[in-house]
Amino acid sequence: MGDAEIIPIGTRGRPGRGAGQQPSSAARGLATGGKPPARRAVTPDEPDPVTGEEVEAAETGAGTTSEIEVPERAPVTTRERGPHAGIPTSDWLAAFQYAAREVFGEQWEPQLARFLAFLRRRVTGDYVVDEYGFDQEIAQRFFMAALRPIAQKWFRIEVRGAENIPTDGGALVVSNHSGTVPVDGLMTMVSIHDHTGRFLRPLGADLVFRMPVVSTMARKGGATLACNEDAERMLRGGELVGVWPEGFKGIGKPYSDRYKLQRFGRGGFVSAALRTGVPIVPLSVVGAEEIYPLVGNIPSLARLLGIPYIPITPLFPLLGPLGLVPLPSKWLLEFGEPIRTDDFEAGAADDPMLVFNVTDQVRETIQQTLYSLLMKRQSVFR
């Protein structure tokens, strides 16, 4: 190697390999997207020019005269990659039928057909909503279906005197109110529907219809604002209307005052019943007082939020969201004998003394029934 010639690469500013103004053909060939250097055409009698790499290989003795042959690899197909090309259609159908039986029962085909028909009506708008926003199909398929397991399995509601509810025509159901959260109204709705087939139309407070999502659900479930005008129109239309005269004073009373009825307002519900001549059905509910035992309140925060009260129970807010789960108390619902109002003279609704006497009669009937049910109940939870 002592006689090897050293080729300077652009030293001292002289143009050389890699130092000239124009890139070499080899550099242009290495560039991305560049074209390989064009080779001069060689005639049959002229030997092929030798490249620099071949000369260097010949000088070093590293070149070989034979090329290494690489065997061609057979193309890989999808079948060879995965022996299980896909799930057969019969397996998909069997899985679908099994899932449908689990969801809809053995009679899954008609159930599924009814569900698809329901979806079609919802998409096309082919359903009925009354003037108050009540959607009977939504109430029956979703609200009642969601509340029924809670009423039957969690609270184990026992209903008595359901035969006192009129099978048709207008009637006014008057009930006590308790439980910190108005769960008793929802349980009354599903109990009446399951025992009579009728939908109870509750009269709700203003707060219910000021809440964005709750107001829409309440309207679709059959509730309307608690005012005499709407109540009288519903009663004249033959609806079964429910009212809880104690209001927030009933559900927000402390646990120490459980099952002691609060004042029944000014008797507006009695005036509506007298003007329309419908019967008043007293309802006594035992069990709702124990689901959220109210032991405290935060009135300053309640006034700031614009709500009647901030409840404090033995489990809330101590346990956080877990404290919102109601206790599984045993419920008893008893419907008393209807109080007729069609026997009174015309204009009786404008007599304050008569309205007061009928209101007090309804209140005393519910209070005495509550005491009787408490004596019959074995314990809070059974």
The mean per-residue pLDDT over the stretch 109-135 comes to 87
Going through 194-330 in order, the beta strands assigned E by DSSP cover 200-204, 224-225, 240-243, 280-286, 296-297, 311-312
The residue type of 291 is I
Whether 203 and 230 have beta carbons less than 8 Å apart is answered as: yes
pLDDT tens-digit readout, 107-117: 778 877 888 88
- Give the integer Cα–Cα distance in Å for 181 and 251: 7
Q: What is residue 62's predicted lDDT score, i.e. its pLDDT?
A: 47
Q: What angle do CA 45, 46, 50 make, to 5 degrees?
A: 150
Map residue 190 onto helix, strand or coil. helix
State how beta strands 296-297 and 311-312 pair.
Answer: antiparallel
Residues written for the chain: 382
Q: What is residue 21's predicted lDDT score, i.e. its pLDDT?
A: 57
pLDDT tens-digit readout, 146-192: 999 999 999 999 999 999 999 999 999 999 999 999 999 999 999 99
Map residue 222 onto helix, strand or coil. coil
Structure-block tokens of residue 80: 């060879």
- Give the integer Cα–Cα distance in Å for 54 and 205: 98
What pTM value is reported for the model?
Answer: 0.72
The residue type of 242 is G
